[in-house]
Structure 1
Amino acid sequence: MAATPAYHHGDLRRAILCAALKVIRSDGVAAISLRDLARRAEVSHAAPAHHFRDKAGLLTAIATEGYELLATTLESSPTDATHQLREMGVRYVEFALGHPAHFEVMFQPQLLHGEDPELAAAKERAARALRSGIEDLPAGRRPDARRAGLAAWSLAHGFATLQLSGSLPALDDDPAETFRAILADRPTTYLP
């Protein structure tokens, strides 16, 4: 695997974000240091602060990007209301497995600048996409939206978290297919 090229008068913000995502994937959020990221990008130790202010600012940018990616992923679910919620769950799992560093940061609010307007907007966009899976169910099959949304999110999030931590037994070669099969077994009355 080729090393990530060092920053040389290009997009420093993107270079720092990419380096941070790589560190999080390999060593976890606790290993993030703006000084280390500056060293990796071959810039002064103060340069990352121009874009992120502090470590929480960097992590907030990663979480914001993650929520935007998640929203885009969920919005690409099929429009067939009968299968939309199920496929949104599968897409949620695929997102988590495809973007593990983002996923790790997104759900640690104590590490973020929670008042950040871009973060709030990205979270709302993702939440709106998640809610649409419940709201688009046919009227006769639409359960209490809040409870159903919480149940569906918990199932997808829990599965993704367990898969990422290596805690699940390998049932299939494709974890998303495993999750799809679990949903086909209808483990909860909240899922169509």
Structure 2
Amino acid sequence: MIEILTRADEPRVPAWFDQMFRGRAKVFHERLRWRVVVRDGREMDRYDEHERTIYLMAIDTAGQVVGSLRLLRAVGETMLDNEFRDFFSPPIVIRSAEILECTRFCVHGDQTSSKPNAVSSELMIGLCEFALANGIREIIGLYTSGMTRIYRRVGWEPREIAVAKPEFGRLILGTWAVSTAALQTMTLRAGSSRERAPSAQ
């Protein structure tokens, strides 16, 4: 099940937010060794303080968060504008109300018996559904070259825009075109039909 939330929802489902931030710390800090800020076992940054930040959380049958991602509208501050600005030469500026930046895509593998690929697929289907329901035409995001095969397997492969400077590692900036065809392909490969995601409030 995919839940679409903002920080305004945290008082209603505090356990889900706690599980998400702790899962991010385990993945990005402990496993991937990214330079992220972890406090009290939770990975958070300034974008998590924005009331308009959108989260997609994959919830298993036991009510636990097994994966998540974060969305920022490309009309205000984004990580591409700030933290990732020096990754590319020249810097890449993307501004559009019809584009979302996706960051912190995270499968909490140690918290669930679900297969990571299934959780990734569920998150991407939910993301495409949400985008279609809210007039979004593209998703942008950074990913490692190793993720390409996962996106291809799921059925929604990004178009490469730029490759980061060598000193930042093999990071790629890509764009995912939002379409009903992409959603149909992913849903077919996932072997299930799902309800469309609701509009953001």
TM-score (norm 1): 0.31
Larger helix percent? 1
Higher RCO by CA contacts (8 Å cutoff, separation 6 or greater): 1
